[in-house]
Amino acid sequence: MSNSVKEGVVLLSGGLDSATVVAMAKAEGWRIHGLSFDYGQKQRIELERASALAKQFELSSHCVFRVDLGQFGGSSLTDEAMDVPKGRSEEELGQGIPSTYVPARNTVFMSLALARAESLGLRHLFIGINALDYSGYPDCRPAFVEAFTALANAATRAADGGPPYEVHAPLLHLTKAEIIARGLELGLDYGLTRSCYESDEAGLACGHCDACILRLRAFESLGIEDPAPYRS
């Protein structure tokens, strides 16, 4: 394993956050391997966006991995019978764990990123989680990053030596507006990303789900129009 090359695996969802993480890492000179998941999400456009971003950023590799969390159920992001919440107020957004939480999703995704990294002989993982706007999700908090890092170093060849695994979560303590401002500085075209939980078949965002509300509010606070297409 070479320590001189900065090289790691990034979880790439096709959304705003992970795209910003890739832009930041590339600007810092990292070689990046992208990992996206077909996990049974209703939003199929995510994967198309992830592939477009992988190409745009000239990633060293990009793997779309199939892991059907939808078969376990329990989330409105995967279950056709559950509706994604719409038009929630500021106050409602801050309350509890929403139905869009997918049980243990980031744990599963990071475990697979760890498997990918260990297979490649790499010890750096990147994830675009953000505790401020998504603190409802337990697997988007600082305690998750700490616990996963400890696990990675106990569960793999790193337990027997070499550099320890590092989990990079550069957006953890940023607001959505700060994330977008950072990406714009780096020349990221957010028109390539999609955040909506209920895009239509043409890829137009709904404008009313939690993800759209947080995204639109952040662009608005910056006085910039979101370049992603909306249907309303």
Residues in contact with its own copies by CB under 8 A are: 63, 65-69, 71-74, 96-97, 101-108, 110-112, 114-116, 118-119, 138-139, 141, 143-144, 146-148, 150-160
Closest-CA residue to 101 (of 63, 141, 62, 66): 141
Q: Compare residues 158 and 171 and give the one whose CB is closer to its own copies.
A: 158
Beta carbon of residue 95, minimum distance to its own copies (angstroms, whole number): 12
Q: How far is the CB of 202 from its own copies (least distance, A)?
A: 31
Question: Which CB, 8 or 183, lies closer to its own copies?
Answer: 8
For the bound state, the minimum distance from the C-beta of residue 226 to its own copies, rounded and expressed in Å, comes to 30
Q: Could you tell me which of 142, 208, 224, 106 has the C-alpha nearest to residue 176? A: 224
Render 87-113 in DSSP notation, one character per residue: S--HHHHTSS--TTPPTTHHHHHHHHH
Written as six digits, the tokens of 222 are 């910056």
User: Is 63 or 93 the residue whose CB approaches its own copies more closely?
Assistant: 63
* Nearest approach, Cβ of residue 169 and its own copies (Å): 13
Q: How far is the CB of 167 from its own copies (least distance, A)?
A: 12
Nearer to its own copies, 103 or 227 (CB): 103
Q: Of 139, 148, 229, 222, which is closest to residue 185 (Cα–Cα)? A: 222
Q: Is 68 exposed, middle or buried (0-12, 13-18, 19+ CB in 10 A)?
A: exposed
- Nearer to its own copies among residue 9 and residue 212 (C-beta): 9
> Distance between CA atoms of 202 and 149, rounded to whole angstroms?
39
Tokens at residue 24, please? 């930041």
Is 51 or 111 the residue whose CB approaches its own copies more closely? 111
The amino acid present at 184, given as its one-letter code, is L
In whole angstroms, how close is the CB of 119 to its own copies at the nearest point?
4
Q: Please give the C-alpha separations between residue 152 and each of 65, 69, 116, 122, in angstroms, as whole numbers.
A: 20, 22, 12, 12
